[in-house]
Amino acid sequence: MEKTVNVYLMGKKYEVPSNLTVMGAMEYSGYQIVRGCGCRCGFCGACAVIYRIKGDNELKTCLACQTQVLDNMYIATLPFFPLEKKPYEIANVKPTEQIMMQLYPEIYACIGCNACTKSCTQGLNVMQYIAYAQRGEYEKCAEESFDCVMCGVCSSRCPAGISHPQVGLLARRLTGKYISPESQHLIERVAAIEQGDFKAIIEELMQKPIEELKELYNTRVIEK
């Protein structure tokens, strides 16, 4: 028999194989996960959970799909992590330092504790990209936050209440629209789509059986 560990899911004890992820342990224990599971590969950030180990009072956070269970692990899920997206139209804002002050003034209350960086499930230097945002260096902020999966774990640990992923997203949108050079290839491709150049191909694909679609995907030519 494979090695097992005890985990506590929403307060109830279960014995599960030790090689499972937190998400796998939940499903092994009979939970049907229909929300908060997403890609199951650590890229979408939808499965962030809170846990602690018995005898240790420190709360920890992780992505359930990529974290292996530990013995006496107490696990709880939240419907969402504390992110607040301020409403704006990207066409009506400009990459000025004032726009962060208007939309996310809490970033200037950062105390430099680095809890956001320490908790990041992707290993990003979160505090650094917030510092770039404070100074209006949006291109640097966009680059530093590029791999953010918007899980919100950093925000759950922030005493200043900063919505770090939303700050990074705004910086990336500002960079893409106003700072980075336009891509002529992208402009031409969007125009071709709008004028219906790919409509017949898409309709043909939609009629194909799922197995044929899988084969086309697996044998596709990938541009270098």
Per-residue 3-state assignment (H helix, E strand, C coil) for 2-30: CCEEEEEECCEEEEEECCCEHHHHHHHCC
Q: In the prediction, which pLDDT does 224 show?
A: 72
**Residue pLDDT, tens place only, 165-207:** 999 999 999 999 999 998 899 999 999 999 999 999 999 999 9
The stretch 68-74 carries a mean pLDDT of: 95
Let me know: does 17 contact 26? Beta carbons within 8 Å. no
Q: How does residue 90 score in pLDDT terms, banded at 50, 70 and 90?
A: very high
Q: Is 120 helix (H, G, I), strand (E, B) or coil?
A: coil
Q: Is 87 helix (H, G, I), strand (E, B) or coil?
A: coil
- CATH number for the region 90-179 comes to 1.10.1060.10
Partnered with residue 84 across adjacent β-strands are none
Let me know: does 106 contact 83? Beta carbons within 8 Å. no
206 CB contacts (<8 Å, ≥6 apart)? none
Q: In the prediction, which pLDDT does 139 show?
A: 97
Q: 4-77: which CATH topology? A: Ubiquitin-like (UB roll) (3.10.20)
Spatial separation of the C-alpha atoms in residues 201 and 208, rounded to whole Å: 11
pTM of the model: 0.75
**How many Cβ atoms are within 10 Å of 33's Cβ, its own excluded?**
15
Let me know: does 122 contact 147? Beta carbons within 8 Å. yes
Residue ranges per domain, the chain? 4-77, 90-179, 184-218
Q: In the prediction, which pLDDT does 80 show?
A: 73
Q: Which of 60, 63, 82, 76 minimizes the C-alpha distance to 155?
A: 82
